[in-house]
């Protein structure tokens, strides 16, 4: 019971931290004000931000698995996972930044600014996980 409560509390804290970081990125990019008219549906920039966000999420998952050493194929696949997490995190980070750089309006404008900010934050997290897993993989390889 205590462990379940602690996991739920940690998940809520992580979600709140993620939302705060996304808001901070939107404020820093000067696109935090909602649009005067809301655009509904999928636009090309929203699609771009969604793809970047998916790539960033994949980077976080792969980096987390590589960092946790959750591989049954040995150290080489962990190292490959770390490299994949690093590269996909970097790509997502750059694309999230580009979405925000090209945005002309805030949330609801159809420019994908919320997705771009999310991709930027998750890409940075995935990049950090990839670097950490790569460093850990290098240390464990030299001690084997």
> Which residue range forms the structural domain that includes residue 95?
13-29+39-143
Residue 5 falls within a domain, yes or no? no
144: burial class by Cβ within 10 Å (0-12, 13-18, 19+)? exposed
Q: What is the pLDDT of residues 41-88, one digit of tens each?
A: 888 889 999 999 999 999 999 998 888 876 665 666 788 888 999 999
Report the percentage of the chain scoring pLDDT > 90.
Answer: 36
Residue 62 falls within a domain, yes or no? yes
Residue 24 falls within a domain, yes or no? yes
Residue 6 falls within a domain, yes or no? no
Question: Could you give the number of structural domains in the chain?
Answer: 1
Report the percentage of the chain scoring pLDDT > 70.
Answer: 90
Residue 133 falls within a domain, yes or no? yes
Contact 142, 119 (CB under 8 A): no
Higher-confidence residue of 33 and 65: namely 65
144 has pLDDT over 50: no
- Summarize the confidence of residues 99-118 as an average pLDDT: 88
pLDDT value of position 87: 95
Residue 71 falls within a domain, yes or no? yes
């Amino acid at each position: 019971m205590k462990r379940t409560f602690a996991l739920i509390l940690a998940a809520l804290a992580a979600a709140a931290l993620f939302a705060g970081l996304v808001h901070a990125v939107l404020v820093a990019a000067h696109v935090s004000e909602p649009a005067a008219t809301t655009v509904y549906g999928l636009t090309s920039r929203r699609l771009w931000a969604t793809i970047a966000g998916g790539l960033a999420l994949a980077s976080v998952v792969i980096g987390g698995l590589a960092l946790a050493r959750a591989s049954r194929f040995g150290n080489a696949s962990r190292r490959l996972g770390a490299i994949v997490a690093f590269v996909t995190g970097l790509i997502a980070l750059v694309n999230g930044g580009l979405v925000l750089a090209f945005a002309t309006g805030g949330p609801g404008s159809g420019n994908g600014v919320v997705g771009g900010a999310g991709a930027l934050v998750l890409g940075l997290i995935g990049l950090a996980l990839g670097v950490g897993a790569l460093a850990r993989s290098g240390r464990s390889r030299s001690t084997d």
